[in-house]
Structure 1
Amino acid sequence: MRIGIPKESREHELRVAASPDTIKRYKGLGLDCVVEEGAGTGAALADEAFTKAGASLADAAGAWDAEIVLKVQRPGEDEMGRLRQGQVLVGMLDPYMSREQVAAYASAGVTAFSLELLPRTTRAQAMDVLSSQANLAGYKAMVDAMAAYSRVLPMMMTAAGTVTPAKVFVIGAGVAGLQAIATAKRMGAVVTATDVRPAAREEIESLGGKFVGFIPEGAATAGGYARPLTPEEQAEQARLVAEHLKGQDIVVTTAQIPGRKAPRIVTAQMVASMKAGSVVLDMAAESGGNVEGSEPGAERMEGGVRIIGARNLPARLAPASSVLYARNLQNFVALLVSKEGALAIDMDDDLVKGAMLTHEGRIVHPNFADQA
């Protein structure tokens, strides 16, 4: 049985769904690997590295002809026609934002797995693509924000006088937010952060940050994500954020809710209250934006404040993010094959069932039952 690794076709996507290490592991499972020529170039992985690990090279058609196809992002429109009946597709398929493709997978007879849908359990941690990619995204977000800031971050005591440390505020303390906090602390900034989940305060403080805000009752869902706030809770959170923003130098927003538009947290009025020279980086720009006026991949000045709309931050660290993502995929694929290297999908496995979108011509995931 063959594993196919096509080159990612979407704009700004430099990651690849396999690494030389995972190629060796697939070979150990009795699987052959076919990598599209140039698939790893954006992640600093040469074709030779894949062939040395035991893969064969092919054109796009050859990579898509495999029994199991591994992707980083969902297929583009020109790639959908390459899917065939009985094929297995695994990747970050973004099903909530591409429901029409979910139906297309079923129509094509493809068994599609979207790893964003994996249950948030201990057993799933080795396959948790959201965490592995968000961790790097949080780091890159803070690095980019610091690079755009025209002053220094740590306190500096010199013969000419003392430079006070920058004040950094992180909104949202999930995986990305916590890494942003840790990165800012390592650089010597004074860090505060907010989140509405009960576990957030302790996590923020464990990294040396100071918690700001309030935590409403029952604010976290069963999966550990923040639930949408009520209008009254939104108003109180907005009041606290608005007051705190006035004294901040760097603000990084990370708040996102799977399957929903990102919540608007920072308004234009709040930005106008900030000091000239401040930087606001919106990690949620691609999903609607936490910051009013932010645009994916764009920077603009608003009253002396620089607003940065982040776009696909993990892809900007493609060598590292690809290695982690490839391992996540390999750990999941190991659940789909037998010791003899044959396809053996266990429909009773909670991880397999949780990530499965379509199977045998049907939409099977309960969150998309209305399309079935």
Structure 2
Amino acid sequence: MKIGVLKETKVGEKRVAISPSIAKKLIDKGFEVLIEEDAGSASSFKNSDYEAIGASVEKRGVVFKNATILIKINPFDEEDLKLVDKGHILMSQLYHKSNPKLIESIAATGATAFSMDAMPRISRAQDMDVLSSQSNLAGYKAVILGAYEMTKIFPLMMTAAGTITPSKVLIYGVGVAGLQAIATAKRLGAVVMATDIRMETKEQAESLGAKFISVDNTGEESEGGYAKEASEDYARRQKEAVNKSLFDADLVITTAMIPGRKSPVLITEEQVKQMKNGAVIIDLAAAQGGNCEISEMNKTVTKHGVKIIGTTISPESVSTNASDLYAKNIYNFIMHLTENNEFKWELDEEITDETLIVQEGKIRKN
């Protein structure tokens, strides 16, 4: 079976879906791997790196024509779908719940499509979970960006001229990104506080050295390992509990997202007005509307003396590591779905069932 790896066309994207080391593992398992020319160049992987391990580097049209499985990171776009036919099996993040027109377009080609972002949050699927692997890097990078944008340093520092007190960092959302942000900020010497609707995250946050801001979450349980949308009452109580820490914070990182829905607003403009002059907010949920009321995607907005940076910080900025982790997720997923280089099509199995969005032109999941 031939696996085709396509070059990402999304503006600003630097990652590639398969790294040379993982391409070699696939080849060792008996698959043929075709790489679109320069697909890995922005991640520091040269065409010759792929050729050296036995992959073939081809022009875009050749990859579409000869490969059975087509792999990307971002959703297949209109130009991609012009070259897709009913024999193709597509794998990428499709965000099918918020992209119904894309799913209809894929179905119209007669192809089959798996969505990597639909991976169930179960222990068996942890090594295939691209949202976790990429969010880990996003949490790390958010702290580094915040440190760069702040006008203060993170750690306590004692000098002959006097003592510099440590910066205060507040993190909303103790998922994968939030936990990595806590760990990174603590390593840099900051005083870290964190809050989340899921009380089960309290122990995790505290184990990394953060002070957890508790808000009674009765009736606000999470769904499938993800935080669900909070009630108005919980949102009000959370604001009251978090405000003191928010107004004292030098850096705030927000990571709260709900799959397929608009991000919850956790910081209003009124709250921003009461924050420290010179404080920085890194809003990782900006692509879905933002956790801060006045954040804008891919923009830095300075308002009321606070710098608000709306971003996904997506792991594009650390594309070598991000590509390798995504590739490992894909490798594990393909190993799960296949036996003797053939798909098993176990439609009742949870991982297959949740991720198989379109099968031979028929939409299975909306």
Is TM more than 0.5 here?
A: yes
Cα distance in 2, alignment partners of residues 217 and 63 from structure 1 = 52
Cα distance in 2, alignment partners of residues 193 and 215 from structure 1 = 15
**8 Å contact from structure 1 (residues 12, 312) kept in 2:** no
User: What residue number does 2:300 align with?
Assistant: 299
User: What residue number does 1:57 align with?
Assistant: 57
Q: Once structures 1 and 2 are overlaid, which stretch shifts more, 37-46 or 57-66?
A: 57-66
Equivalence map 1:91-110=2 (5 Å): 91-110=92-111
User: What residue number does 2:331 align with?
Assistant: 330
Shift of 1:317: 0.7
| Equivalent AA in structure 2 for residue 79 of structure 1 | D
User: What residue number does 1:351 align with?
Assistant: 351
**8 Å contact from structure 2 (residues 247, 276) kept in 1:** yes
Cα distance in 2, alignment partners of residues 117 and 44 from structure 1 = 28
| Equivalent AA in structure 2 for residue 130 of structure 1 | L
Cα distance in 2, alignment partners of residues 272 and 193 from structure 1 = 21
**8 Å contact from structure 2 (residues 173, 194) kept in 1:** yes
Shift of 1:287: 0.8
The answer as to 2:268 corresponding to 1:275 is no
**8 Å contact from structure 2 (residues 193, 245) kept in 1:** no
Equivalence map 1:150-169=2 (5 Å): 150-169=151-170
Shift of 1:312: 4.3
| Equivalent AA in structure 2 for residue 346 of structure 1 | E
Post-superposition Cα deviations, 1:134-188, rounded to whole Å, max 9, x if no partner, equal: 0000000111011100111100011111000000000110000010010000000
| Equivalent AA in structure 1 for residue 192 of structure 2 | V
User: What residue number does 2:113 align with?
Assistant: 112
| Equivalent AA in structure 1 for residue 43 of structure 2 | A
Q: Which runs of 5+ in 2 are unaligned?
A: none
Shift of 1:344: 3.5
User: What residue number does 1:285 align with?
Assistant: 286
User: What residue number does 1:202 align with?
Assistant: 203
User: What residue number does 1:25 align with?
Assistant: 25
**8 Å contact from structure 1 (residues 141, 310) kept in 2:** no
User: What residue number does 1:263 align with?
Assistant: 264
The answer as to 2:184 corresponding to 1:183 is yes
| Equivalent AA in structure 1 for residue 24 of structure 2 | K
| Equivalent AA in structure 2 for residue 178 of structure 1 | L
**8 Å contact from structure 2 (residues 278, 306) kept in 1:** yes
**8 Å contact from structure 1 (residues 72, 92) kept in 2:** yes
**8 Å contact from structure 1 (residues 264, 289) kept in 2:** yes
Equivalence map 1:67-106=2 (5 Å): 67-106=68-107
**8 Å contact from structure 1 (residues 91, 329) kept in 2:** no
Shift of 1:274: 0.9
Q: Once structures 1 and 2 are overlaid, which stretch shifts more, 97-106 or 318-327?
A: 97-106
**8 Å contact from structure 1 (residues 195, 215) kept in 2:** no
**8 Å contact from structure 2 (residues 263, 289) kept in 1:** yes
Cα distance in 1, alignment partners of residues 61 and 267 from structure 2 = 46
Poorly superposed stretches of 4+, deviation over 6 Å: none
**8 Å contact from structure 2 (residues 281, 309) kept in 1:** yes
User: What residue number does 1:238 align with?
Assistant: 239
**8 Å contact from structure 1 (residues 219, 229) kept in 2:** yes
Post-superposition Cα deviations, 1:288-308, rounded to whole Å, max 9, x if no partner, equal: 100111111111211221111
Shift of 1:221: 2.7
Cα distance in 2, alignment partners of residues 330 and 82 from structure 1 = 24
Pair 222,245 (structure 1): closer, same or farther in 2 beyond 3 Å: closer
User: What residue number does 2:44 align with?
Assistant: 44
Shift of 1:252: 0.4
Cα distance in 2, alignment partners of residues 312 and 244 from structure 1 = 24
| Equivalent AA in structure 1 for residue 61 of structure 2 | A
Post-superposition Cα deviations, 1:299-353, rounded to whole Å, max 9, x if no partner, equal: 12112211111134211110000000001001111233331x2343322332111
Measured on the aligned residues, the alpha-carbon RMSD in Å equals 1.2
- What is the percent sequence identity of the aligned residues? 40
TM-score, length of structure 1 as denominator length: 0.95
Cα distance in 2, alignment partners of residues 275 and 257 from structure 1 = 29
User: What residue number does 2:250 align with?
Assistant: 249
**8 Å contact from structure 2 (residues 138, 312) kept in 1:** no
Shift of 1:233: 1.3
Q: Secondary structure at the match of 1:13?
A: coil
TM-score, length of structure 2 as denominator length: 0.97
User: What residue number does 1:342 align with?
Assistant: 342
Cα distance in 2, alignment partners of residues 231 and 342 from structure 1 = 49
Post-superposition Cα deviations, 1:82-134, rounded to whole Å, max 9, x if no partner, equal: 11102100111121221111111222111100011111111101101010000
Cα distance in 2, alignment partners of residues 120 and 343 from structure 1 = 22
